[in-house]
Chain A
Amino acid sequence: MAEVEQEDVSNEGYTFFGGGALLVSMLTTAAVSLLCGITILGVVFPGYELLHAYSHQEFHEVFGELTRKSLLQYSLLATVALWVLQSAKTFAQHWFRCYRVDDHGLHLKSGVLWKKYTVVPKNRMQHADLKQGFFENLLELNTIVIHTAASSSPNIVVRHLPKAKGELLVRELVDYIRLRID
Chain B
Amino acid sequence: MTDSPPENIPWRHLHVSAIFLRTDILVVIALFAIAVPVLVVIGPETVYTKYPTQTTAIANAIFLAFFLVLFGAIHRAFHVYAFLQDSVVIRKGLVRRETRVIPFERLHNVDSNQSMPQRMYKTATLVLHTAGSDIVEAKLDGVPLKQILQLEDLLKNYHRAHETDSPLIKEPEIEHAGSQETQDAKPLVRMSTMDCIRVFLIRNQMTTIIFLLIAFAISNHGLLGDWVKTWLLPLSITDFVALNVVTSPIPWIDLSIRANADWIALTNWLVQVVLPIVAALLIASMVICLTFYQNFALLVEEDKLDARSGSIIRSRKRTPLSRIQLVQVESNIRSRLMGRESVRFSSSAGISGSPIFSPLGTWLAPLVEPTKTLPILEQVLPLEDLSSASWEIIDAKRAWPRMLKKHCVYLVPIGLILASFNVWLLLLFIPLVAWLVYVCKRSAASITFTLLEEAISYKSGWVKRTWTTRAYSKLQSIDVTQNPFDRRHGTATLVLHSAHNSGRSRIRFIKKERADALAKCLYDRSVTRDFEW
User: Which residues from chain A sit less than 8 Å from chain B, CB to CB?
Assistant: 1-2, 4-7, 9, 104-105, 111, 113-124, 148-153, 156, 180
Contacts and interface: CB of A to CB of B under 8 A. Distances in A.
Contacts of A9: 512-513, 516
A22 B132 CA distance: 35
Contacts of A117: 479-481, 516, 519
B483 A149 contact: no
Given A6-B516, A148-B477, 7 more contacts: A2-B451, A4-B514, A7-B519, A111-B481, A114-B483, A117-B480, A152-B497
Nearest to A156: B477
Interface string B508-533: 00001110111111010011001101
Contacts, number: 119
B115 interface: no
Interface in B471-491: 475-484, 487
Nearest to A120: B477
Given A2-B451, A123-B527, A149-B499, A116 B480 contact: yes
A104 B524 CA distance: 9
B262 interface: no
B133 interface: yes
A152 B533 CA distance: 15
A1 B389 contact: yes
A121 to B, nearest CB: 5
A158 to B, nearest CB: 13
Contacts of B502: 152
A163 B170 CA distance: 52
Given A1-B392, A153-B497, A7 B476 contact: no
A36 B445 CA distance: 46
Contacts of A7: 513, 516-517, 519-520
Contacts of B519: 7, 117, 119
A2 B450 CA distance: 8
A2 B390 CA distance: 9
B391 to A, nearest CB: 8
A39 B504 CA distance: 35
Contacts of A105: 523, 527
B476 A119 contact: no
B348 interface: yes
11 contacts: A1-B392, A4-B517, A4-B520, A113-B484, A148-B477, A149-B132, A150-B497, A150-B504, A151-B500, A153-B497, A180-B530
A1 B390 contact: yes
A128 to B, nearest CB: 14
Contacts of B348: 149, 151
Given A5-B520, A148-B497, A123 B530 contact: yes
A119 B389 contact: no
A76 B520 CA distance: 48
B325 to A, nearest CB: 9
A115 B482 contact: yes
B453 interface: yes
Contacts of A115: 481-482, 487
A150 B476 contact: yes
Contacts of B530: 123, 180
Contacts of B495: 153
A140 to B, nearest CB: 29
B223 to A, nearest CB: 47
